Every structure is written in C-alpha cells, then in structure tokens.
C-alpha cells in the first residue's frame, strides 16, 4: 500500500528538482556590462617639450638669410602662466647661428608681459606677406617682398585686455633697445641664394638690400590691438603702435624720432557667397629716423606695376580692396570652381613726405591658394621703376 505513495513522491520530487533546476537556471544573475569609459587622459610632458618631437620650428627662406632653421625647446612653467621659446637659428647664406628667446608671463586672465631678446634678421615689411607665403615666393619665383637688417635686440611689452565675446581690445606699453647693422649686399651683385626662377634677376633674388646706420636705438613703445571676429560673417583687426626713440644712430641733426604705425584688415560677405576684403597700412614719422625704420612698397603684394620694393622711406600709406566672386562652374579636378577677383590698390612712400599716389586696378582668377591677376595703372606716369601694366601670380590663403 505504501509503494504507490513512494513512487508518487519520487515523481513529485523529480519534477520539483527539474522545475527548481530550471528556475535556478532562469534566475542565475547576468554579469553586469563594464561601463563605457568616456574620459580621456591628459599626459603631462613636463615643463620642457620639443616641438615636432625634435625641437625644430617652421623654417623660412629669403634672399639674405637663405634658409633659416630655428631649433629649441618649449618651456612651460606655473601651469602655463610662464612660457618661453629659446631658439638657435641657423642661417645658411650668412653662416650664422643666432640665439633668441621669446617669453610670455601672464598675470591673471587679462594681463601679460611679452619679452624677447637676442640676435636676428629683422624686417619692417612683414605686413606685406606672411612668413610662409614670402618664403615660398622667394624659393619658387625669387620674389622676396622684404628688406632686411641685422640687430641684437631686446624688447618688453606689457598689455591688458578688455572686452568680451567677439570684441577684444588690448592696449599696452613697453620699451626696445637694439644695436643694428647692415646685411645683404647694398650694391648690384651676382651672389644670391638659390631659387627655382628669378635667381639671376636684379629685381628679384639679386636685388640689393638697403644699408642701415650702425648703432644703438633705445625707445619707448605704446600700442593697442583691436580685434573683432564674428564666425563666417565679419572679421576685423586694427593694430596701432608708436615708438619714441631717445637714443639712435642719427640720420640727421636731432638724433631722435617718433614713429606711428597702423595696420588694419577686415573681411565680410556681401551678396550670397561673394566677399569683400580690405587691407591698409600706414607709417608716419617725425624727426630723423634711421633707415632701419624705413618701410617699402612695390611688387605683386602691394603695387604690381611698381618694381619690387622700389618705393620706400619713413612715411608710407597703402590701401587695398579686393572683391571675390566664387563661380559655380567649371568644377576643376582637385581644386573645385575658380574664384574671380576684382582689386583696387593705391599707395605711396617717401622720406620726409609722401609723393603722388600710384593706383592699380586688377582683375584676376584663383583656385584654392593660387591666384593670377592682371593690373593696370590708370594714371600711369613713366618712370624707371613703374610700368603701365603688370601680370602677377602668387599665393592667396584667402581663396
């Protein structure tokens, strides 16, 4: 009588075990997935680092230095509030190695002290073209749009920044001391660094480099930078500086001078994708500035119908407006559609006063960074350094 119960109990027990096993298997916890790592690690390279991994900086090329190759570490201290770039620059055509240092000390978010000192090759014509465009122009076409002098120089400039958002205004004061001397060749010559074209041209790589007065200059500096940028709409920058020299190699009787320099650039859209750009540069001097404070005009970067840097002096005024019209067709391989440009430029430079202004009207076409333009002088007056018309090919980083 008990056997059926035992069989039934065993059957129920087996069912319970099987059911329980299934329940245990069903209730077995699933291991949690590891959380996604959305953070990143900032690696501290320490206070001293080597740009490009070996300390090399961007080289440059011109008709006086040849190739100039800077090398040096970057130093960052106090959480980035103190930064310094000591470099040694080898200049192949001069066979010289120049020590130089640029340093910035920041006091809070708005005040900074910029200090620089050492030996280098200097130019007052850097506003015409950027370093990279001038280097490529000299290397490829022989068109070095700068005059040069050498100097041991030390400067310090303290500035304070005002403004928020798109507008920034930064006035400042400082001082400068330098000992300058001539470089290059001041008379017609046959020696020049290599270039693909224009190496033997006396208006290009063999162009003479104006001499300067050897001696000391000690000056007080003041300036202001105004910068406005509205993304993809309007950009504008105005920089004004004044230098008053207390000690100088005298070009005349007084032995001192005050020089005011202003540079302005702006760009904004007009209709659709068309755009207008403006650039202006002015320099005005009272007193007897030595030639190392002269600036120059002429050539495709300023007045194409004037020989390269044929106009110069302690007074200069230049204005330029360019209108860009991107075309829809033809679509060219690799470079896209061309851009049509209309250009007007006018300028003058001299010692003591400004001669009559020379005007240029130009029409051009560009693709990507390459631009070709044809210029005419509507009020042409024949001289030994001017032409009625001129054709220029150059780089344009704005296209």
| pLDDT digit string, tens, across residues 371-393 | 899 999 999 999 999 999 999 98
Q: What integer pLDDT is reported at residue 41 of this predicted model? A: 58
Torsion sign (Cα): 321, 395, 369, 342: positive
And the tokens for 298?
């002429």
Q: Span 118-138, mean pLDDT?
A: 96
CA angle (258, 261, 264) in 5-degree steps: 165
Higher per-residue confidence, 40 vs 313: 313
Q: What is the pLDDT of residues 226-250, one digit of tens each?
A: 999 988 789 999 999 999 999 888 7
Cis peptide before 330 (omega within 30 of 0): yes
Q: What integer pLDDT is reported at residue 21 of this predicted model? A: 46
Q: Within 10 Å of residue 281's Cβ, how many Cβ atoms? A: 21
Exposure string over 39-64, b if 16+ CB within 10 A, otherwise e: eeeeeeeeeeeebeeebebebbbbbb
Cβ-contact 206, 192 below 8 angstroms: yes
Q: What is the pLDDT of residues 178-201, one digit of tens each?
A: 999 999 999 998 889 999 999 999
Query: What is the secondary structure of 251-306 as a DSSP string?
Result: SSSS--EEEEEEEEEEEEE-STT-EEEEEEEEEEEEE---GGG-EEE-STTS-TTB
Average pLDDT, the chain: 89
In the numeric block, the tokens 């110069």 are attached to 312
Q: What integer pLDDT is reported at residue 253 of this predicted model? A: 57
Q: What is d(CA 138, CA 147) in angstroms, rounded to the nearest whole number?
A: 12
Q: What integer pLDDT is reported at residue 333 of this predicted model? A: 80
Q: What is d(CA 351, CA 264) in angstroms, rounded to the nearest whole number?
A: 23
Q: Is 101 exposed, middle or buried (0-12, 13-18, 19+ CB in 10 A)?
A: middle
Q: Span 367-371, mean pLDDT?
A: 82
Q: What is d(CA 67, CA 56) in angstroms, rounded to the nearest whole number?
A: 13
Q: What integer pLDDT is reported at residue 384 of this predicted model? A: 93
Q: What integer pLDDT is reported at residue 394 of this predicted model? A: 79
Residues of the chain with pLDDT > 90, as a percent, come to 75
3-state secondary structure of 87: strand
Segments making up each domain of the chain, as ranges = 324-399
Residue 4 confidence (pLDDT) above 90? no
Residues of the chain with pLDDT > 70, as a percent, come to 87
Q: What is d(CA 139, CA 199) in angstroms, rounded to the nearest whole number?
A: 9
Q: Span 2-30, mean pLDDT?
A: 45
The number of helix segments (H) and strand segments (E) in the chain equals: 2, 20
Q: Which residues sit opposite 212 in a β-bridge?
A: none
| DSSP code of residue 186 | S
Q: What is the pLDDT of residues 22-74, one digit of tens each?
A: 444 445 566 666 666 555 555 666 899 999 899 999 999 999 999 999 999 99
Q: What is d(CA 88, CA 120) in angstroms, rounded to the nearest whole number?
A: 10
Q: What integer pLDDT is reported at residue 388 of this predicted model? A: 97
């Amino acid at each position: 009588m008990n056997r059926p119960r035992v069989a039934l109990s065993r059957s129920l027990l087996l069912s319970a075990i099987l059911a329980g096993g299934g329940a245990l298997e069903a209730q077995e916890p699933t291991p949690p997935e590891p959380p996604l790592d959305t953070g990143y690690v900032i690696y501290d390279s320490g206070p001293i680092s080597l740009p490009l991994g070996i300390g090399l900086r961007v080289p440059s090329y011109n008709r006086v230095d040849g190739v100039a190759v800077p090398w040096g570490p970057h130093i960052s201290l106090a959480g980035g509030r103190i930064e310094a770039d000591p470099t040694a620059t080898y200049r192949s055509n001069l066979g010289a190695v120049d020590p130089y240092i640029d340093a910035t000390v920041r006091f809070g978010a708005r005040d900074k002290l910029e200090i620089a000192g050492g030996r280098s090759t200097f130019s007052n014509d850097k506003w015409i073209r950027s370093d990279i465009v001038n280097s490529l122009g000299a290397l490829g076409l022989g068109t070095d749009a700068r005059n040069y002098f050498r100097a041991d120089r030390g400067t310090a400039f303290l500035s304070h920044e005002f403004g928020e958002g798109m507008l920034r205004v930064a006035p400042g004061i400082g001082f400068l001391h330098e000992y300058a001397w001539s470089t290059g060749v001041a008379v017609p010559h046959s020696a020049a660094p290599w270039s693909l074209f224009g190496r033997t041209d006396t208006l290009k790589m063999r162009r003479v480099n104006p001499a300067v007065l050897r001696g000391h200059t000690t000056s007080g500096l003041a300036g202001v930078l105004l910068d406005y940028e509205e993304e993809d709409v309007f950009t504008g920058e105005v920089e004004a500086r004044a230098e008053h020299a207390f000690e100088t190699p005298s070009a005349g009787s007084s032995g001192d001078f005050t020089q005011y320099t202003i540079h302005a650039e702006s760009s904004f859209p007009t209709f659709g994708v068309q755009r207008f750009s403006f650039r202006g540069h002015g320099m005005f001097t009272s007193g007897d500035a030595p030639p190392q404070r002269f600036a120059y005009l002429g050539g495709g970067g300023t007045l194409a119908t004037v020989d390269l840097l044929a106009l110069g002096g302690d007074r200069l005024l230049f204005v330029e407006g360019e209108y860009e019209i991107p075309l829809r067709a033809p679509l060219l391989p690799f470079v896209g559609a061309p851009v049509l440009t209309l250009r007007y430029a006018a300028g003058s430079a001299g010692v003591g006063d400004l001669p009559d202004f020379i005007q240029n009207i130009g029409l051009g076409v560009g693709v990507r960074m390459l631009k070709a333009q044809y210029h005419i002088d509507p009020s042409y007056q024949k001289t030994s350094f001017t032409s009625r018309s001129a054709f220029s090919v150059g780089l344009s980083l704005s296209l």
